[in-house]
């Protein structure tokens, strides 16, 4: 059912509320109820009232459920009974809901056929379940409605450190299905089949980049919510990723302890390797370095004596002269 039909049926329902506030509250609750099809069929059947509108196509399951509730003996529907049984089983209901939500925006008939094939449920049963108990495929453009189903307390709940431990498995499965739209992944996580493990292993090559994007996206969301100064495991992971991305290749990580560099020890080792000066070396040095002698060195570092008679009077010694 699309939003227009849901709204029309909401307005046609008789309410016992005695105030405008209660009527508005009831309307909002009905308008955001994924099981609205079963709810509205039950309301008119219990009240023994004629169903107020003509429903066609896939919406006929609302009228079929209305007839079955109105007179179970005369109007038996195996599909409605099976859909109700699945809905009353929390595990089976969660799996089927997750599989259905992976098809948002896809051709509805094709997706229902795929879900029926992968689960083993008859297609008519899957269709009846979607219309009566999890009405989403006709409302894939209604973002507020879908967010209220998948994230009734907003995505902020995922910022909590203990989110994974405290969130029911059914909700986690539904969120994975809504965010990834991967029916094979949902089947794998739901335990309905373990046939596609190889696909998961092949996808590990790209998982690091995807995980990095998700971590940084989570940190950006916290920043927009002015939660930068709040302690958070998600922000700590994002900070570590940023630090790693700015580290230069082959540069030592300053966070790792380094051994101190013993400069004095290195100098002592070098001096110990230099041979001692002998008496002959001293005589050679005294023969060259006569008192009053001037010296200069060239660009290659060669030291040569500079006699006064080798320079013209008034001539400046060459550059680099040492007296």
Residue 63: HSE in the Cβ half-sphere, 13 Å Cα cutoff = 11
What SS3 state is found at 322? strand
Is residue 47 pLDDT above 60, yes or no?
yes
Closest listed residue to residue 127, CA positions, set 139, 143, 110: 110
What is the distance between the alpha carbons of residues 60 and 137, in angstroms, rounded to a whole number?
Answer: 15
pLDDT of residue 158: 75
pLDDT band at 320 (very low <50, low <70, confident <90, very high): very low
**Size of the chain, expressed as the number of residues it contains:** 323
Instruction: Name the residue with higher pLDDT: 280 or 9.
Output: 9
Candidate ranges 121-125, 149-153, 209-213, 275-279; pick with highest mean pLDDT: 121-125
pLDDT at 167: 79
Positive or negative: CA dihedral 237, 241, 242, 244? positive
Decide: 196 and 187 in contact? Cβ < 8 Å: yes
Tell me how many degrees the CA angle 235-102-153 measures, rounded to the nearest 5. Answer: 45
Residue 180 or 265, more confident: 180
Q: pLDDT for 95-141, tens place per residue?
A: 999 999 999 999 999 999 999 999 999 999 999 999 999 999 999 99
Three-state SS at 303 = strand
| Comparison of pLDDT for 55 and 207, the residue scoring more | 55
Contact 206, 111 (CB under 8 A): no
pTM: 0.63
Task: Give the pLDDT confidence score for residue 252 in this predicted structure.
Answer: 44
SS3 state at 30: helix
pLDDT at 63 over 50: yes
The DSSP 8-state label assigned to residue 196 in this structure reads: T
Quick count: other Cβ atoms within 10 Å of Cβ 112?
A: 21
| 67 pLDDT above the threshold of 60 | yes
Concatenated DSSP letters for 103-114?
A: TTTS-HHHHHHH
- When pLDDT is cut at 50, 70 and 90, the band that residue 219 belongs to is confident
**Residue ranges in the chain assigned as alpha helix (H):** 3-12, 20-31, 36-46, 60-70, 78-88, 90-101, 108-119, 123-133, 143-150, 163-166, 169-180, 183-190, 197-202, 204-224, 233-246, 263-273, 279-288
Binning pLDDT at 50, 70 and 90, where does residue 204 land? very low
């Amino acid at each position: 059912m699309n939003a227009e039909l849901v709204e029309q049926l909401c307005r046609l329902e008789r309410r016992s509320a005695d105030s405008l506030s209660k009527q508005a509250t009831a309307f909002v609750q009905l308008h955001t109820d994924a099981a609205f099809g079963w709810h509205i069929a039950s309301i008119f059947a219990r009240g023994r009232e004629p169903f107020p509108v003509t429903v066609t196509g896939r919406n006929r399951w609302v009228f079929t459920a209305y007839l079955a509730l109105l007179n179970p003996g005369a109007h038996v529907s195996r599909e409605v009974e099976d859909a109700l049984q699945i809905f009353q089983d929390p595990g089976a209901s969660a799996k089927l809901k997750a599989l259905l939500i992976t098809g948002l925006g896809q051709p509805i008939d094709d997706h229902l056929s795929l879900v029926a094939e992968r689960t083993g449920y008859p297609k008519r049963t899957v269709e009846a379940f979607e219309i009566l108990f999890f009405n989403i495929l006709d409302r894939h453009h209604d973002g507020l409605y879908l967010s209220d189903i998948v994230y009734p307390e907003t995505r902020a709940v995922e910022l909590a450190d203990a989110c994974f431990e405290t969130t029911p498995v059914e909700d986690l499965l539904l969120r994975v299905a809504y965010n990834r739209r991967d029916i094979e992944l949902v089947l794998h996580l739901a335990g309905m089949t373990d046939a596609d493990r190889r696909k998961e292993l092949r996808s590990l090559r790209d998982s690091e980049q995807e995980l990095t994007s998700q971590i940084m996206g989570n940190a950006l969301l916290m920043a927009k919510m002015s939660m930068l100064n709040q302690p958070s495991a998600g922000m700590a992971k994002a900070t570590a990723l940023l630090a790693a991305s700015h580290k230069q290749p082959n540069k030592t990580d300053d966070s790792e302890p380094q051994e101190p560099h013993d400069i004095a020890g290195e100098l002592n080792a070098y001096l110990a390797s230099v041979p001692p000066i002998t008496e002959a070396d001293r005589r050679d040095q005294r023969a060259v370095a006569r008192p009053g002698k001037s010296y200069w060195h060239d660009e290659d570092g060669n030291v040569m004596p500079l006699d006064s008679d080798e320079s013209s009077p008034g001539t400046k010694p060459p550059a680099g002269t040492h007296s």
